[in-house]
Structure 1
């Protein structure tokens, strides 16, 4: 593969979606975290708009990752 082919491959790889899950599944915008307990709950697993409470300690969990960011929230 020449320089042009390598450059094309690098550009193609950099523009691919970081979401590698099922395309038909509901898209997650992030996850709720309890940093004290290291508990994580994906936003699509939470009913309603309010932050859930941590199943370990009962404190309110914090949402992380903005909808416009790339990569996973893990």
Structure 2
């Protein structure tokens, strides 16, 4: 196998993974968004099951991205 083929294989494997980096240890399934402010909070940073209030304006945030989806919600 040539060096170029090895590099291609490594790059292909790194882009196919939904887990791209270190992270906080908790698996994120999405994020909460405030439609008024554009504020974003990853779901792994929210305690409990209820949507949080926006830290900027106090409105209830909505969950973006379904639990069955793949990839990053960033």
Question: Structure 1 length normalisation: TM-score?
Answer: 0.72
Tell me, which stretches of 5 or more residues in structure 1 are unaligned? none
Q: How many residues align?
A: 70
Distance (Å, rounded) in 1 between the aligned partners of 2:23 and 2:54: 29
Q: Which structure 2 segments of 5+ residues have no match?
A: none
Alignment RMSD? 2.8
Detail structure 1 runs of 4+ shifted over 3 Å in the superposition. Answer: 12-15
For the pair 1:16 / 2:19, whether they are aligned, the reply is no
In the alignment, the residues of structure 1 paired with residue 71 and residue 58 of structure 2 have an alpha-carbon distance, to the nearest angstrom, of 28
